Amino acid sequence: MTLFEDCCKKNNFKSLQIVNTENPEILSPRQGWIEIVCGSMFSGKTEELIRRINRARIAKQTVEIFKPAVDTRYAEEDVVSHDERTIKSTPVDAAESILLFVNNDTNVVGIDEAQFFGEELTDVCTTLANRGIRVIVAGLDMDYLGQPFGPMPKLMAIAEYVTKVHAICMQCGNPAQFSHRTAIGDKLVMLGETESYQPLCRTCYNRTNSSKNRHS
C-alpha cells in the first residue's frame, strides 16, 4: 500500500475521489470526470480498469461496474480479465440502463467492453460525470479492420483523460495496437473467441493483411 492509499484509509476519505491515470494523483472534492482506457485485444485494458477500481475501493469509494449483456465470454456477473482476476459487475442491455443502477452515493462507475454499447453511451457518461461521478471506461478502440469501434472515438474526444494501452505483437515483439482476426468470416465481433485474435503492430498487421488479400 502506498503512503497515499494509507493516508486515504486512515482518514476515511469517502467523499474524495482519486485521479489515477498517468497523471499525478489528485484529490478533489466531489467533481466528476471521464477516463478512458483503450487498446487492442490482450492489451490489458480490463486489468487496468480493475486496478483503478481496486484503488478507488481502498480509498473507501462506492463503486459500481457495468458491462454490456452481450459479453458472455465468462461468468455472467463478473468483469473478468484474461489473467482471471475478477470483479463483480452488472450486465446491462443498453447504456441508458446504467443510469437506473447508479445511486446518489456512488463515487465511481466502471464500464467494461464499452465498444459493444451504442453511441448513447457518450451521453450516459456525460450525465454521470456532470453528477460528480468519476467514470472509468475500458474498451477496444479499433475493430479487427482497424476502424474506430462503436462509441469509443467519441468517448475519447469528450474524456478528461485517455490512456492507450498496448499488447505485444505476436509476430515481432513490438508494441501492438491492432486486433488481427485469424478466424474466417466477416462478423465484426466474434464473442467468446479470444483465441481467434492476435495482437499485431502496424507493420505486421499490414503485411499479414496484404498477403491474406493476395491469397483470397
**Which residues form the catalytic set?**
113
- Contact map string, positions 191 to 210, toward Zn ion, x by CB under 5 A: ----------x--x------
To Zn ion, the closest distance from the beta carbon of 106 in angstroms equals: 41
* Residue 110 near residue 138 (C-beta atoms within 8 A): yes
Beta-strand runs (E) in the chain:
16-18, 27-29, 33-39, 63-68, 78-80, 86-88, 90-92, 108-111, 134-140, 161-165, 167-168, 175-176, 178-181, 197-200
171 binds Zn ion per the rule CB under 5 A = yes
Stretch that binds Zn ion, among 43-51, 90-98, 158-166, 172-180 (CB under 5 A): 172-180
The residues facing 111 across adjacent strands are 66, 137
167 binds Zn ion per the rule CB under 5 A = no
169 binds Zn ion per the rule CB under 5 A = yes
Is the CB of 126 or the CB of 171 nearer to Zn ion?
Answer: 171
- Contact map string, positions 121 to 160, toward Zn ion, x by CB under 5 A: ----------------------------------------
Distance between CA atoms of residues 77 and 167, nearest Å: 26
Grid coordinates given for 52: 483503478
95 binds Zn ion per the rule CB under 5 A = no
Instruction: Give the residue, chosen from 172, 183, 188, 191, that forms a contact with Zn ion under the rule CB under 5 A.
Output: 172
The rounded Cα 112 to chain-centroid distance in angstroms is 5
- 3-class secondary-structure state, position 5: helix
To Zn ion, the closest distance from the beta carbon of 198 in angstroms equals: 10
Looking at residue 136, its amino acid is: I
For residue 65, count other CB atoms closer than 10 A to its CB: 20
Stretch that binds Zn ion, among 8-16, 83-91, 109-117, 164-172 (CB under 5 A): 164-172
**Interface contacts to Zn ion, rule CB under 5 A:** 169, 171-172, 174, 201, 204
